[in-house]
Structure 1
Amino acid sequence: MCNQATSMAIGLCASIVLACTSQATMAQSSVTLYGILDVSVQLTTRADGQHSAINLQNYGSVPTIFGLHGSEDLGGGVSAIFELSQSFSMTNGKSGIPGDAFGWQSYVGLKGGFGTVTAGRQFSVLFDETVMFDPTYFAAYGGQAQLNPLSDIIVNNSIKYLSNSYGGFVFEGLISTDGVAGNFASGRTLELGMQYSRGPFNMSVALREKNGSEMETAGSSGKTERIGVIGAAYKIGPATLLAGVERTTGDLSPVKTVIWGGGRYDVTPALQFRAAVYQTLSKNPQTGDPTLYVAGAVYSLSVRTQTYLNVGYSRNSAHSSQTVYEYGDAPLNGANQFAVMLGITHKF
């Protein structure tokens, strides 16, 4: 009796193992742990508005993050996908976005012949359609602080659609809301975007409308921020020329226009130079008309490790206080600022 029970148990275990193996083979699922570590040494003039400072700085070339992403083949050309990622500081280990466990991206979705549909916390269409047309990509010395502040890079409670390519055209759309009963406009974000690629030429267009949130003490759901952006890139041999313009209007933030231009040059497969100018134009006295000049070089020591040099100069108008470093302390109004940063990035 004991031998019979043992045989039945062994047979059952074998069946379970075979079933799981067969299911795994059919599903073709995969999960990848990945990360980017970035730290630098920085010299900044007028770091407090008057005095210079030297400090160890998190994030100079790309944000420091770790995460998981994966997919599962559901059959019929459809896959389930997911992403869980968090940003943090290399200098003190703290979360890059305080209070968020997976504050970078956390979404799940489906991908197939219809395109890609995802839901959760994820990159905005505005970010998708500008970052590749920024000469410095997402470097700390660059235009993302002016084009996409942190509140506009990632969107909570969002559903996003990305099409496949149709004759060089790719379309994107996103909707998000606070979920306030009786007030669909509260915290709502609506975005549409498009990219077009043909040979050496690429361009993008994005439109965004964001409503304020309904709070217990005050409501701003009737107020809006509207952003429109156009970017373009043209590749000539080892050089890529890039330019764009972004216009912000509405009640939630100052009306302004940001114009940028610059380029990247691949000296060798391992060495790239970058340079750009970002001009902000605004009648709002607190925003003013600051100009940011940046240049940099990225050298690949290996497939996973890079070293980089960033140099930047911010020329402020009478009341503006634009910093060179995206998250740096603002200098005094009207004060110019110079900064240089030497760092290293490792990817795993």
Structure 2
Amino acid sequence: MRRQSRSKVVELGAFLVLACASQGAMAQSSVTLYGILDVGLQYTTRADGQHSAINLQNYGNIPTIFGMRGSEDLGGGVSAIFELSQSFSMTNGMAGLPGEAFGWQSYAGLKGGLGKVTAGRQFSVLFDETVTFDPNYFAAYGGQAQLNPLSDIIVNNAIKYVSNNYGGFVFEGLVATGGVAGNFRSGRTLEIGMQYSHGPFSMSAALRQKNGAQTATVDTSGQTEEIGVIAAAYKIGAATLLAGVERTTGDLSPVKTVIWGGGRYDVSPDFQVRAAAYQTLSNDPQTGNPTLYVAGAVYSLSVRTQAYLNVGFSRNSAHSSQTVYEYGDAPLNGAHQFGVMAGITHRF
């Protein structure tokens, strides 16, 4: 009986040790569910080229997203990290990229003293180096659709490195392939970028080369698109001035240059106003030389909730079709367009 009792005590002790060890391991890791909900009421002129429209619109200030991210401490200053996220529409609940379970970002990687390495579907270096230098950030009334078409914002099959901060410098690199056997350049994307900040001044630069793809019927893998961008910002008190230029060349896209400039002003800790102009220059008749003027205001109702107002005017050349709402697909047929959108953003 004593042996059995002693055996049970030993087993109980071992169980408690394992349980404590398990709890200790769990304390070293974390998983966070998060989301951004954004919806607004929009009015646009010439929404179909001729008639005005009023509609409830998803995403005016920040894309609507639901996701999870996590990390686990592996020791020695190294952590395993991951993120899974999906964009969707507040107006109908549909996925932003139908058919993709985690169409926003889906990656895993390691983070440590030398920086961060991640693999999967993730933001491009081009996006990283332009979005914070856009006076309107990622607002739908802004220049990101001109600087980063949807196909360039997020990259599939990507391995990405982001360094730690070294004397104000942060470096990035990305390589992605299409996975076609015997043709490494099919669907390949190569990117490098950097940011520098010192006091009130900051700047960024990035280079991107993307190859075409090989399919069963067509092989454009020998054709490329090259994009180079440089941007800068300078903070003066409550104001931040921003400007940049991006040049696109190659075989896969029309040659064009986008020049932008504008600023942000913090009226108070809870209230910010923004304004910017984006000029596209191209000899391609379908791209033309449209100019987009945007102004906006964001007011924080609480730590998690913001109200916003966007106002924009798109001045199109004879054949250009730039919309005020950057991701709208309504044809304008060379007509100018005015738009205004009031909405709310909530984070959780």
Shorter-chain TM band? over 0.9
Structure 1: where are the runs of 5+ without partners?
A: none
User: 2:302 & 2:20 partners in 1: Cα distance?
Assistant: 42
Deviation at 1:10, TM superposition (A): 4.2
1:88 equivalent in structure 2: 88
Using the TM superposition, give the Cα deviation of residue 6 of structure 1 relative to its aligned residue in structure 2, in angstroms. 6.5
State the AA in 2 paired with 1:114: L
Alignment of 1:223-238 (within 5 A): 223-238=223-238
Amino acid at match of 1:194: M
SS at match of 1:343: strand
Q: Are residues 1:181 and 2:197 paired?
A: no
Q: Which amino acid aligns with 1:313?
A: F
Q: Distance in 2 between matches of 1:245 and 1:105?
A: 27
Give the TM-score normalised by structure 2. 0.96
> In 2, Cα distance between the equivalents of 1:15 and 1:238?
55
In structure 2, runs of 5+ residues without a counterpart are: none
SS of 2:80's equivalent in the other structure is strand
The residue aligned with 2:285 is 285
State the SS of the aligned residue for 2:35: strand
- Matched with 1:76 is 76
Give, in whole Å, the separation in 1 of the partners of 2:340 and 2:329: 15
Provide the secondary structure at the position in 2 that maps to 1:23: helix
CA distance in 1, matches of 2:303, 2:58: 21
State the match for 1:251 in structure 2.
251
CA distance in 1, matches of 2:330, 2:225: 24
Deviations 1:17-39 (A, max 9, x none): 122123334xx111111100000
CA contact (8 A) 1:331 1:337 kept: no
RMSD of aligned residue pairs (Cα, Å):
1.5
How many angstroms apart in 2 are the aligned matches of 1:326 and 1:166? 35
Letter in 2 for 1:42: Q
Question: Deviation string for 1:127-178 (max 9, x for gaps)?
Answer: 0000000000000000001000110000000000011111111110000001
How big is the shift at 1:320? 0.4
Q: For residues 133-212 of structure 1, what are the structure 2 equivalents within 5 Å?
A: 133-212=133-212
Residue 131 (structure 2) aligns with: 131
Counterpart residue identity of residue 332, structure 1: L
Aligned residue number for residue 115 of structure 2: 115
Counterpart in 2 of 1:103? 103
How far 1:217 sits from its partner (Å)? 1.4
- The amino acid that maps onto 1:159 is I
Q: Which amino acid aligns with 1:136?
A: N
Deviations 1:205-245 (A, max 9, x none): 00000001111111111110000000000000000000000
TM-score (norm 1): 0.96
Residue 20 in structure 1 maps to residue 22 in structure 2: yes
CA distance in 1, matches of 2:243, 2:327: 24
Q: What is the CA–CA distance in structure 2 between the aligned matches of 1:184 and 1:35, rounded to whole Å?
A: 37
Q: Is the 8 A contact 1:50 1:331 kept in 2?
A: no
| One-letter amino acid matched to 2:67 | G
**Distance in 2 of aligned mates of 1:332 and 1:143:** 18
Partner residue, 1:333: 333
The secondary structure found in structure 1 opposite 2:61 is: coil
Q: Tell me the alpha carbon deviations over residues 44-79 of structure 1, each in whole angstroms, 9 at most, x when there is no partner.
A: 100111100000000000000011111111111111
Instruction: Give the structure 2 partner of residue 275 of structure 1.
Output: 275
For this pair of structures, how many residues does the alignment match? 346
Paired residue secondary structure (1:152) = helix
One-letter amino acid of the counterpart of residue 191, structure 1 = E
Give how far 1:9 is off.
5.9
Instruction: Name the CA distance, whole Å, in 2 between partners of 1:166 and 1:8.
Output: 52
Q: Which secondary structure state, in structure 1, belongs to the residue aligned with residue 26 of structure 2? A: helix
CA contact (8 A) 1:35 1:64 kept: yes
Does the 8 Å contact 1:129/1:194 carry over to 2? Answer: yes
The separation in 2 between residues aligned to 1:108 and 1:176, in whole angstroms, is 15
Q: What is the SS of the residue equivalent to 1:128?
A: helix
**Cα deviation 1:309-332 (Å, max 9, x = unaligned):** 000000000000100001223343
Other-structure match for 2:297: 297
C-alpha distance in 1 between matches for 2:64 and 2:183: 37
**Residues 48 and 329 in structure 1, CA contact (< 8 A), matched pair in contact too:** no
* SS of structure 1 residue aligned to 2:23: helix
Assess if the C-alpha contact under 8 Å between 2:141 and 2:294 holds in 1.
Answer: yes
Letter in 1 for 2:22: C
Pick which of 238-247 and 68-77 moved more. Answer: 68-77
> Aligned to 1:302, what secondary structure does the other structure show?
coil
